């Protein structure tokens, strides 16, 4: 799992929220963008962030399924849930506690799922 | 330990080295670098050593009579292990099983017996937990100061549940007494982190509850309620020890739910008879506890104290306000039954006791309720 000294584990932090409430034209959402920008800035400068993007809303989603050899393309997200992944950050840290500590400082209200990446 | 990466091995090494230390240190003296000595010794020895040590825990207790605290190599590694076992990223039932396995040194079979669960279920639970520790990289280390309060609370929550699991079940003789294991672990935590008042509070609570253990069941295994207990069978030394612990925690001036619960237990322990119980004091303590936790179960207990201060009618109002939240909790109905009986509403009381009976599997509680219903 880890080696002495410079041990690293990569995780994806998935930011999950109700995307119907995320309206970029609202001033409070613009303020949230500023805080998110600062969060990435801060953690990028300490070398913990190796990637991250925001996703457009689930109304832009397309889902492709392969069933019994047949491929179907449908409108909409994979899950019916109102909550969806709105963005992610890829981080490179020493262990789960460090990833949790980062997630706790995420500046907007959302659930955050932390998953380790498979490393080969 | 961090260099190993593999949980099983790390667990075995720490435990095995502790057993070895027990044998060598008293004879040869403590080495200059105990940590390094432990690791070398641990690696040299077979890792199956621990499983052959039937009374591992007792032996460990001897070692702990030597000062061992956070800051010593031995103390640190055990503390790291406990923090990992009780990591909030693990489900509660796994935290308990893993702590019993890795810190107390119980076998899978012993844990299964304690929970009346199939051995395969516990084995599966342990495997899943260890896999998550490895794959999600749950660290074996003492958390940073910022995280420490939450993480200590998590450990205490695990021990509190473990204790209750044992305390309610202790009627069934063949079951292992988890309450005892939980108290042992709480002692360990207090030794390793002597400046955590809530840890001391929890230890005080367990000590005071266990002081009454001998009086909680009649010779034929029936549950005896506090009001009917033979107080001469309470252990005065344990009461004194629990009260002293509570005083020590109180002097740190950071109160919390475990200290308050211990204070309530102390009120009961110090009353010479049921009639001499200081219910006003107990009610005040419950008020504090309600403010700290907001828990409906705590409000139920406060209502019981209230019935002794302000009468059963006032208490029944409070209890019935909890109906929505506690309708599935057997003690809600049992408490309501007791208050109805005090108010002379015998038929309603029996109906409430019947509902309580339908909601519990605990044999001792079932016997008591059946007797009250007259069934």
DSSP conformational letter for B61? H
Hey, what long-range contacts does B296-303 have (CB within 8 A, 24 or more apart)? B296/B322, B296/B325, B296/B326, B297/B326, B297/B329, B297/B331, B300/B326, B300/B329, B300/B331, B300/B332, B300/B335, B303/B335
**Chain B positions in Cβ-Cβ contact with residue A97 (cut-off 8 Å):** 138-139, 141, 143-144, 147
Please give, rounded to a whole number of angstroms, the shortest distance from the CA of A24 to a CA of chain B: 33
> What are the two backbone dihedrals, phi and then psi, of residue B33, each rounded to the nearest 5 degrees?
-120, 85
Please give, rounded to a whole number of angstroms, the shortest distance from the CA of A56 to a CA of chain B: 28
Asked casually if ipTM beats, i.e. exceeds, 0.95, the reply is: no
Say which residue the tokens 């030794």 belong to: B191
C-alpha to C-alpha distances, B27 to A59, B30, B68, nearest whole angstrom? 73, 9, 18
CA distance B14 to B318: 51
| Confidence category of residue A7, pLDDT binned at 50, 70, 90 | confident
Cβ atoms of B133 and B7 within 8 Å: the answer is yes
CA distance A33 to A87: 12
Q: Cα–Cα–Cα angle for B328, B331, B332, nearest 5°?
A: 65
Using DSSP, state whether B299 is helix, strand or coil: helix
Return all residues near B116 (Cβ < 8 A) that are at least 6 apart.
B175
| Confidence category of residue B65, pLDDT binned at 50, 70, 90 | very low
| Confidence category of residue B33, pLDDT binned at 50, 70, 90 | low
A97/B147 CB distance under 8 A:
yes
Residue B344 has pLDDT above 60, yes or no: yes
**Chain A positions in Cβ-Cβ contact with residue B146 (cut-off 8 Å):** 101
Using DSSP, state whether B295 is helix, strand or coil: coil
Say which residue the tokens 């179907």 belong to: A72
* Closest by Cα among B200, B199, B198 to B255: B198
- Report CA torsion sign: B248, B254, B257, B263: positive
B127-182 pLDDT, tens per residue?
999 999 999 999 999 998 888 989 999 999 999 989 988 776 654 555 557 888 89
Which chain B residues in 151-170 lie under 8 Å from chain A, judged by CB atoms?
none
Residue B154's Cβ-side half-sphere holds a number of Cα atoms within 13 Å equal to 22
A45-69 pLDDT, tens per residue?
999 999 999 999 898 999 999 999 9
Using DSSP, state whether B118 is helix, strand or coil: coil
Q: What predicted TM-score, i.e. pTM, was given to this entire model?
A: 0.78
DSSP conformational letter for B144? P
Q: Among A5, A96, A101, which would you mutate to test the B interface (most chain B Cβ atoms within 10 Å of its Cβ)?
A: A96
Strand A49-54's sheet: what is its strand order? Answer: A49-54, A83-93, A9-18, A111-116
């Amino acid at each position: 799992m880890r080696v002495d000294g410079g041990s690293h584990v990569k995780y994806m932090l998935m930011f999950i929220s109700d995307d119907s409430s995320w309206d970029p034209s609202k001033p409070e959402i613009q303020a949230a963008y500023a805080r998110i920008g600062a969060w990435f800035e801060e953690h990028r400068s300490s070398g913990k962030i190796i990637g991250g993007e925001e996703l457009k809303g689930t109304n832009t989603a397309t889902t492709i399924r392969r069933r019994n050899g047949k491929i179907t393309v449908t409108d909409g997200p994979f899950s019916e849930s109102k909550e969806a992944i709105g963005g992610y950050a890829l981080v490179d840290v020493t262990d789960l506690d460090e990833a949790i500590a980062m997630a706790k400082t995420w500046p907007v209200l959302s659930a955050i799922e932390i998953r380790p990446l498979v490393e080969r | 330990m961090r260099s190993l990466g593999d949980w099983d091995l790390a667990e075995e090494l720490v435990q095995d080295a502790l057993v070895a230390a027990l044998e060598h240190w008293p004879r040869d003296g403590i080495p200059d670098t105990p940590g390094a000595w432990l690791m070398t010794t641990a690696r040299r020895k077979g890792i199956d050593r621990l499983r052959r040590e039937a009374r591992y825990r007792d032996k460990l207790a001897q070692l702990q009579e030597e000062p061992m605290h956070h800051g010593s190599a031995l103390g640190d590694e055990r503390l790291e292990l406990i923090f990992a076992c009780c990591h909030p990223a693990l489900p509660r039932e796994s935290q308990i099983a893993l702590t019993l396995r890795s810190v107390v040194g119980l076998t899978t079979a012993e844990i299964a017996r304690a929970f009346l669960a199939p051995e395969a279920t516990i084995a599966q639970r342990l495997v899943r937990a260890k896999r998550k520790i490895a794959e999600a990289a749950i660290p074996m280390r003492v958390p940073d100061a910022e995280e420490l309060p939450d993480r200590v609370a998590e450990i205490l929550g695990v021990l509190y549940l473990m204790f209750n699991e044992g305390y309610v079940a202790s009627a069934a003789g063949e079951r292992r007494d988890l309450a005892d294991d939980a108290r042992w672990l709480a002692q360990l935590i207090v030794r390793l982190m002597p400046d955590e008042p809530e840890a001391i509070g929890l230890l005080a609570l367990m000590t005071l509850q266990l002081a009454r253990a001998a009086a909680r069941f009649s010779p034929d295994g029936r549950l005896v309620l506090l009001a009917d207990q033979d107080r001469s069978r309470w252990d005065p030394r344990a009461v004194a020890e629990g009260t002293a612990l509570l005083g020590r925690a109180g002097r740190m001036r950071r109160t919390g739910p475990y200290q308050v619960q211990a204070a309530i237990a102390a009120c009961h322990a110090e009353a010479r008879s049921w009639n001499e119980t200081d219910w006003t004091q107990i009610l005040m303590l419950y008020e504090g506890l309600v403010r700290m936790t907001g828990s409906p179960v705590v409000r139920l207990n406060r209502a019981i104290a209230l019935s002794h201060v302000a009468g059963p009618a006032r208490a029944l109002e409070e209890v019935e306000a909890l109906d929505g939240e506690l309708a599935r909790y057997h003690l809600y109905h049992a408490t309501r039954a007791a208050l109805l009986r005090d108010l002379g509403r015998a038929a309603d009381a029996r109906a409430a006791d019947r509902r309580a009976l339908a909601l519990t599997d605990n044999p001792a509680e079932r016997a008591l309720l059946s007797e009250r219903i007259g069934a």
